[in-house]
Structure 1
Amino acid sequence: MQATVRQATAPESDAPAAPFDERRFRSALGRFATGVVVISTGSGESLHAMTANAFMSGSLRPPLIVVSVGHRARMHERLMTDELFGVSVLSEAQEPHSRHFAGEAQSCFASSLAPRFAAVDGLPGVVLLEHAAARFAARIVDRHPCGDHTLFVGQVLVFSLDEHAPLIFFGGRYASVACAMT
């Protein structure tokens, strides 16, 4: 197997630099399989939620999580001013939820399959999706500019997990993991 390696920046020389291929770069990043989350803030009429796959653990002590949100997303403005947010790690059965919170209308939500959020006791303004594989409620403790995104660091105040297989995103497509949950 032979791989083509492309430099992100041109070496220092007099030769003209090749233009950076953003589409190919995005495809390369898509080769990293990720989970899918819904980030939420607010509740009731002020609830706002969005699908993301830029989520990671930050630290075990203290318990920190990190989400990356683009500057143009409405969620970015909310997280710049809000103190609390939630992250729901979607289960494989929640692919329609992912599509819905990414802006695609879902006709199946006319039934009882619509996303349902549950309030977090003692944390007004944080709601989490029911039936998610894992759920985290966090307080924003830091914000870091990162190119056209901001990394929001949250200290986990409450979390829960269920025995649902996670929804996976790879190469621009949804997938699932066939494994025994322990």
Structure 2
Amino acid sequence: MHAQALRIDEPHPAGFDERRFRRALGRFATGVVVISTGSGERLHAMTANAFMSGSLKPPLIVVSVGQRARMHERLMASAFFGVSVLSDAQEAHSRHFAGEPQSRLAPHFAPVEGLADVVLLEHAAARFAARVVDRHPCGDHTLFVGEVLVFSLDEHAPLIFFGGRYGSVAACSTAGPSFAASHD
């Protein structure tokens, strides 16, 4: 079986299929986070799955935010941001902060002592408060690099996103964790 090789030195073909490209990217399972900045009346939060560790020394995290998102403007003007890694019990939070209001949801954010403009979701699997140390344009997104000032870790299973669906990591067994998709 032979696959046709793609040349990387050629520009994208005129018929580049963005929808198919997005589907291909969706084959990579990710966790789900809520990025937040500000507090009180100035609080703004959004769901994202473009989050990663940047460095252990110094402790850096990276979020990728589309330039057309309202969060982008807020992060461009902010010195701090928070990242709450959602637990498998927080799918409603993910939907809510992705623009699908959940009528029965009352998100609870906890302030971070000493950081007036950072609040983090309660009951998240992990939480990070970071100071923006760099911004890098990346096509139609910007990569925001944050130095982690405070973090916490809870023993909740994470919410997973794969192929356009939410899922969770089932309890570990001798064969290791398994993926369970939720039905939309």
Per the normalisation by structure 1, the TM-score is 0.89
Runs of 4 or more off by more than 3 Å in structure 1?
Answer: 2-12
1:81 aligns with 2:73: no
**Pair 9,156 (structure 1): closer, same or farther in 2 beyond 3 Å:** same
Question: 1:58·1:65 contact (CA, 8 Å) conserved in 2?
Answer: yes
29, 36, 40: which is aligned to 1:40? Answer: 36
Question: 1:10·1:17 contact (CA, 8 Å) conserved in 2?
Answer: no
Give the % identical residues: 78
Structure with greater strand share of residues: 2
Question: 1:31·1:171 contact (CA, 8 Å) conserved in 2?
Answer: yes
97, 107, 111: which is aligned to 1:115? Answer: 107
**Pair 17,151 (structure 1): closer, same or farther in 2 beyond 3 Å:** closer
Q: Say what the alpha-carbon RMSD is for the aligned residues.
A: 2.1
Structure with greater helix share of residues: 1
- Which residue identity is paired with 2:126? A
Question: 1:41·1:127 contact (CA, 8 Å) conserved in 2?
Answer: yes
Shift of 1:11: 4.0
- What CA distance in whole angstroms lies between the structure 2 residues aligned with 1:151 and 1:125? 20
Shift of 1:20: 0.7
Match of 1:106 in 2: 102
- What CA distance in whole angstroms lies between the structure 2 residues aligned with 1:10 and 1:98? 38
Residue correspondence of structure 1 range 76-155 to structure 2 within 5 A: 76-109=72-105, 114-155=106-147
Shift of 1:19: 1.4
**Pair 133,61 (structure 1): closer, same or farther in 2 beyond 3 Å:** same
> Structure 1, residues 8-66: CA drift from partner, whole Å, max 9, x if none?
86748xxx945111011000000000000000000000000000000000000000000
Shift of 1:151: 0.1
Shift of 1:84: 0.3
Shift of 1:105: 1.4
What secondary structure is seen at the aligned counterpart in 2 of 1:100? helix
